[in-house]
Amino acid sequence: MGDKDKEDESELFLAAIGPVRKLPEKPLPPATPRPRPRARMAEVDEANAREAFRLGLDDAALEAEDALAWRSDALPVGVYKRLRRGEIAAQEELDLHGADARTAETLVRAFLADAQRHGVGCVRIIHGKGRSSPGSDVGSRGAPVLKNLVDRMLRQRASVLGFHSAPRAQGGTGAVLVLIAPFNRR
């Protein structure tokens, strides 16, 4: 077979298969996965709230026997009265005894977020009265640190509809019942 016959066969083969493209010499590396989306504005709001919270140590601190109480406009008065009387049962409980302020803040944030995510409507947070541990639970002015911390945190959380100190049988002024808004999936 001659060179002319090989050229004819090559041309005939190329005509039969059609146009071709050259393959890359090395395979392309896999694309890096895109980062998960973040709620940046929510992170900024949270950081601003933390800063305002730390600066908001006002002179009107609660004392050991003072009741914690707050209601958002979204919570009907009748439901709030039931909460205040202890007629709404807590589904979950967080005990902050022995925690320092920084740990308590982290625990409360995680607890409330988890409760809302799982559809828990009412929780109890036991903060204590601040009388038994003067070194860690009572501030320089004699005010209970954890009690005041919980009060300020709950007032700043959008997920909290209202709260009130628990009835005497459920911890009295050393615990607080909190109503949580349902989780809103957008």
CA 164, CA 24: separation in Å to the nearest integer?
69
**Residue 124 bridge partners (DSSP):** 93, 177
Q: Roughly what angle, to the nearest 10 degrees, separates helices 145-156 and 40-55? A: 140
Q: Name the residue with higher pLDDT: 10 or 138.
A: 10
Instruction: Express each pLDDT in 148-167 by its tens digit.
Output: 999 999 999 999 999 999 99
E strands, the chain, are 69-71, 92-95, 122-126, 160-165, 175-180
The predicted model gives 64-87 an average pLDDT of: 93
Q: Which residue has the higher pLDDT, 1 or 72?
A: 72
Return the number of other C-beta atoms located less than 10 Å from residue 17's C-beta.
7
Q: How far apart are CA 14 and CA 152, in angstroms?
A: 79
Instruction: State both tokens at 149.
Output: 């911390």
> pLDDT over 70 for what percent of the chain?
85
Q: What is the pLDDT of residue 50?
A: 66
Half-sphere exposure in the Cβ direction for 164 (13 Å, CA): 18
pTM: 0.65
**Interval 162-186 mean pLDDT:** 90
Break the chain into its structural domains and give their ranges: 41-180
Q: Residue type at 6?
A: K
User: Residue 157: which residues within 8 A CB-CB, separation 6 or more?
Assistant: 112
Q: What is the pLDDT of residues 28-57, one digit of tens each?
A: 788 888 888 888 888 888 777 766 655 555
Q: Which CATH class is domain 41-180?
A: alpha beta
Sorted by sequence, the CB contacts under 8 Å of residue 113 that are 6+ apart come out as 159
Main-chain dihedrals φ then ψ at residue 15, nearest 5 degrees: -65, -35
